[in-house]
Amino acid sequence: MTEYLTIDGGQIAYEVAGNGPLVVLSHGIGDRRQAYRLLAPKLVAAGFRVASADLRGHGESSMNWTSHDGSAAISRTDIAGDLLALIRHLGGPAVIIGHSISGGAATIAAAQSPELVSGIIELNPFTKTQQFDMGAIFTVARYRKGMTRLLGAMVFKSLGLWMSYLNVAYPIKPADYDQYMAELAQLLGEPGRFAEFLKTGKSTPADAEAQLPNLTVPALIVMGTADPDFPDPKAEGDAIVALMPEGLGRVELSEGSGHYPHADAPDRVAELALAFLREHARA
């Protein structure tokens, strides 16, 4: 059942299932909380209270937000503030599982309020400032296919290119892939929704990278080895952990997964996440 949390600027849509220590799931750009539809039930069954939230401007959350800096953007700092508000509302602390842009948001939330965040799991995160790798465009086919479509979707404001990017970003297709993508395309085609999604492209991971040295809670970085967003996914994960205080973070891989391992390899991600949660989640 969808619930709503009203905070400054709008409403965040979320749903909660299960009982036990709190886990908050936050999806990536141009998606919705149902991105965790295959992972969340496994966490609930293992004894956790799982809250899945729609990013501001996405899913059933409200539109027309103003960023913390007054701009028409959706930044990792904005998302972090929304997640912390939800954790306070639900009665934390929580472990945050954040995908892509929400990986960076998880870093910021944990650095700002470690009393509310007992650990973070980042799935193929954009937590470190990116540099376009022109060489990899010619040498790494999946990176070329992903980046040309992703950048094209942003530059040309094209829903078709975004859906084409997703087809590349899911080298392993879940059984309900076609239905899920049809529903997502319909949602993003609603008035104003694609424009809200494009606001995420007006921010960079610099705010998240700046907080990596300030982390005090444990972090798990999970990278799909076939992610088209990075020339070398493992190297990206290692670089993120290297910016954390020593001993806090580690990298695990989901072999063959693309940018969405929680959907294309939910058993593998659940295995990794549950081991982390059993050690670090607190009631």
Distance CA 283, CA 269 (A): 22
On whether the CB atoms of residues 159 and 185 are closer than 8 A, the answer is yes
Q: pLDDT (tens digit, 0 to 9) for every residue of the chain, 283 residues total?
A: 999 999 988 999 999 999 999 999 999 999 999 999 999 999 999 999 999 999 999 999 999 998 888 888 899 999 999 999 999 999 989 999 999 999 999 999 999 999 999 999 999 999 999 888 889 899 999 999 999 999 999 999 999 999 999 999 999 999 999 999 999 999 999 999 999 999 999 999 999 999 999 999 999 999 999 999 999 999 999 999 999 999 999 999 999 999 999 999 999 999 999 999 999 999 8
The residue written with tokens 């009631």 in the block is 283
Q: At what angle do helices 177-188 and 159-169 cross, to 10 degrees?
A: 150
CATH of the domain at 153: 3.40.50.1820
- Integer distance in angstroms from the first to the last C-alpha of the chain? 23
Give the C-alpha separation, 91 to 214, whole Å. 24
The domain total for the chain is: 1
Q: Which domain holds residue 240?
A: 3-280
Which stretches does DSSP call E strand in the chain? Answer: 3-7, 10-17, 22-26, 49-53, 94-99, 117-123, 219-224, 249-254
